[in-house]
A and B are shown apart, each in its own frame.
Chain A
Amino acid sequence: MIKANNLHKTYHLGETLVTALAGLDIAIDAGEMVAITGPSGSGKSTLMHILGCLDTPDEGKYVLAGDDVSSLSKDRLAVIRNQKIGFVFQSFNLLPRISALENVELPLLYAGNKEASAVATQALETVGLSDRMAHEPNQLSGGQRQRVAVARAIVTNPAIILADEPIGNLDTKTGDEILSLFQELNANGRTIILVTHDSHVSSYCGRQIHIRDGKVEEGY
């Protein structure tokens, strides 16, 4: 599903040049549930941004679901993000003042889907929130918000779901529920990548990829 070779990325941080990725190789198969772990500064976030098509590598090749996406235009990347990637963030990142259903509909609206409402309703049912669809995010608990976010991530039926510290803002019990939800989705055939530094989270995953100094640490 994901095949990336020799990814390089450097940033200017003021005067200094920071190497975030130094020739990183990564491969993830369809149907896997993978944890990407690593200490802060390891290049984990940069990798997530590139895998999520929010950013492009300076060098290297990234093939997502058969498409080379290493050097696409901003508009093409937006379409890839819309159709092939579902994001789940630590801080939920739902839009305030619109209902859960409208939040989940949003990716479909950008895709021009005319049955957005029906498809979004189904996604909310999958995450077990069919009774909270009309609520706005600030009327929902943290766990419920993250479920809405998961519903939004799966609503376009993407190739991968990319979750960045998905339970970082949740208590243990709620966090475990969300992780179970991810496992459930994985059991139904979805490819899931969790970016985390929490070993409890990575224990839910079938495989762990450890990043250090911009490279995959072998034999971890």
Chain B
Amino acid sequence: MLLWTIIKVALKSLLANKLRTLLAMLGIIIGVGAVISMLALGAGAKKQIMERITAMGTNLLVVRPGGERRGGVRSGSRESLTIKDAQAIISTIDGIAAVSPLVRGRAQVTYYNENVNTTISGAALTYFDIRNFEIDKGRGLTANEEKRTSRVAILGANTAELLFKNQNPIDEHIRIKNVNFKVVGVLKPKGDQGWFNPDEIVVVPYPTAMKQLFGQAHLNEIDIKAAPDANLKRVEDDISKLLRKRHRIIDDAENDFHVRNQAEIIDMASTFTRTFTILLGGIASISLIVGGIGIMNIMLVTVTERTREIGIRKAIGAKDRDILRQFLLESILISAIGGLLGIVTGFAAAIALKEFTNFQTVIETSSIVLSLSVSTSVGIFFGYYPALRAARLDPITALRYE
């Protein structure tokens, strides 16, 4: 029998039982819809995280004290980095655009009776460029302020909001650890990064932070921006070599510092989001399987109900495979049409999630192709057994069936 004729026959019998067909489809619709929206949620989370990692700075290398983490413990001193290390990096290594020493600590910041406990970053004037901060109001740091250990501060967007509400903070004086600082600038917000909120910081010149706030001679971090055309891996190796030499680390002894580049951070984040996506998609696929079982159930009922029809078809010359194809096509149609409706549902769910919650969703073409092919395979897999039962019916028994 021609394929088009079989499709027509299958469509007709599906339409003859609209409610039942719809209920059988519903499982697939929900399954595909869930897979699409969950994968969209995963892709959205990935996009969001990647955007925020990029917001931390491009071509970024971060040097921190302490060796590579081994079983949760860092080897080496926590006080191994110095200003001289930072100066040596910028003066001897090629392919570096900017370097900023960084000291960091938490402190109480007050303005009249408003106060907030937050992270104080002592940084160089290049810090804002390295970390992709933009100035919203006022200005950044100057070389003079760095040299003279001036008591000036630049506030993160949230900190400014908390301390000053709607007031203009520029040229106002705040107190950090009971030391007076003049506010010279406010940063544009970047958005929470989960483990660290860059909008809550207060930036002061690093010599001021070291001498007047935290009384420390070592750095907590050196932030480096590589030149746009530089090879990050090579720069990272050069920094390692230089610091090993400067710290007099012999032969195969372990580093007392570690260098992270942004590629590694992105790598880590993608591993995380991939796991997240697989988890969500996996849970959603279970509903697809349940939908498939629904189809199988309906098809078994249909085959029993249409036993006589099968007998008639066989008597007038249908071969087993004609019957098999006819019933298989019915279940494929249920699952394929269900799959298409499921895609529409998934789109709607993804858009609704985006509109009504603060989740990001991104629908990828691959997830549409995937769920359509999976749902059709579900139709074939779960429709095969009922179709086989129909095909194997004995024509005499089938004709006598009441």
Find out whether the CB atom of A78 lies under 8 angstroms from the CB atom of B318. yes
CB distance from A130 to the nearest CB of B (A): 21
A51 to chain B, nearest CB (A): 13
Q: By the criterion CB–CB under 8 Å, are A93 and B308 in contact?
A: yes
User: What does the 1/0 interface line of B222-242 toward A look like (CB < 8 Å)?
Assistant: 000000000000000000000
On whether A152 and B316 interact (CB within 8 A), knowing A49-B396, A110-B1, the answer reads: yes
Known A54-B395, A78-B317, A83-B317: A109·B2 in contact at CB below 8 Å: yes
- A112–B5 CA distance with the chains assembled, in angstroms: 10
Are B12 and A87 in touch, CB under 8 angstroms?
no
Query: Which chain A residues lie closer than 8 Å to B317 at the CB level?
Result: 78-79, 81-83, 107, 110-111, 156
Instruction: Provide the residues of chain B in CB contact with A89, threshold 8 Å.
Output: 399
15 residue pairs A–B, Cβ–Cβ below 8 Å: A54-B314, A54-B399, A78-B318, A78-B319, A79-B319, A81-B315, A82-B316, A87-B316, A93-B315, A95-B309, A97-B16, A98-B12, A107-B317, A109-B1, A112-B1
Q: Give bound CA distance, A111 to B322, whole Å.
A: 11
A55 CB-CB contact with B under 8 Å: yes
8 more contacts with CB within 8 A, not counting A55-B396, A87-B315, A110-B319, are A75-B321, A78-B317, A81-B316, A94-B312, A95-B312, A97-B12, A110-B1, A110-B318
**Contact at B5–A54, with CB atoms within 8 Å?**
no
Question: In the complex the two chains form, is B12's CB within 8 Å of A107's CB?
Answer: no
Interface residue? B129 (CB, 8 A): no
Binding site for A on B (CB under 8 A): 1-2, 5, 12-13, 16, 308-309, 311-322, 395-396, 399
Which 5 residue pairs spanning A and B have beta carbons closest together? A82-B317, A110-B317, A78-B319, A107-B316, A93-B312
Tell me, rounded to whole Å, the shortest Cβ–Cβ distance linking A2 to chain B.
Answer: 18
- How long is the Cα–Cα vector from A49 to B394 in the complex, in angstroms? 12
Which residue on chain A has the smallest CB distance to residue B308? Answer: A93
| A75 with B308, Cβ < 8 A, contacts A97-B12, A109-B5, A110-B1 known | no
Judge if A74 is at the interface, Cβ distance under 8 Å. Answer: yes
Chain A proximity of B167: nearest CB distance (Å): 78
A residues in contact with B399, CB < 8 Å: 54, 89, 93
Chain B residues with CB below 8 A from A74, complex form: 319-320
- A156 contact set on B, CB distance < 8 A: 317
A52, B396: Cα distance in complex, Å: 11
Interface flag for A106 (CB, 8 Å): yes
- Contact mask for chain A residues 86-128; partner B; CB cutoff 8 A; 1 contact, 0 none: 0101000111011000000011011110000000000000000
Q: How far is the CA of A55 from the CA of B399 in the complex (A)?
A: 13
Give the Cβ gap from A56 to chain B, nearest Cβ, in Å.
11
Interface centre among A79, A98, A106, A107 (most CB of B within 10 A): A106
Q: Which residues of A contact B396 (CB under 8 A)?
A: 49, 54-55
Chain A residues with CB under 8 Å of B311's CB are 93
CB distance from A90 to the nearest CB of B (A): 11
How far is the CB of B259 from the nearest CB of chain A, in Å?
73
CB distance from B338 to the nearest CB of A (A): 23
Which of A49, A54, A55, A97 counts the most B-chain CB atoms under 10 A from its CB?
A54
* Chain A residues within an 8 Å CB radius of B308: 93
Q: In the complex, which residue of chain B has the Cβ closest to the Cβ of A105?
A: B5
- How does the 8 Å CB contact mask read for A158-172 relative to B, with 1 for contact and 0 for none? 000000000000000
> Which A residues touch B318, using CB under 8 A?
78, 110
A111→B318 CA distance, assembly (Å): 9
Contacts of B12 in A (CB 8 A): 97-98
Bound-state Cα–Cα, A82 to B1, Å: 12
Which residues of A sit under 8 angstroms from B314, Cβ to Cβ?
Answer: 54, 78, 81
A67 to chain B, nearest CB (A): 15
Nearest chain-A residue to B309 (Cβ)?
A95
Contact of B2 among A81, A97, A106, A112 (CB under 8 A): A112
A87 partner residues in chain B, CB cutoff 8 A:
315-316
A83 to B311, CA, bound (A): 17
**CA A80 to CA B308, docked complex, whole Å:** 20
Roughly how many angstroms separate A97 CA and B313 CA in the complex, as a whole number? Answer: 15
Which chain B positions have C-beta within 8 A of A81?
A: 314-317
CB distance from A169 to the nearest CB of B (A): 14
B321 proximity list for chain A (CB < 8 A): 75
For residue A111, which residues in chain B have a CB less than 8 angstroms away from its CB?
317
Residue of B nearest to A156 (CB): B317
Give complex CA distance A78, B315 in Å.
7
Distance, CA A98 to CA B399, complexed state (A): 19
Most buried by A among B5, B308, B317, B395: B317
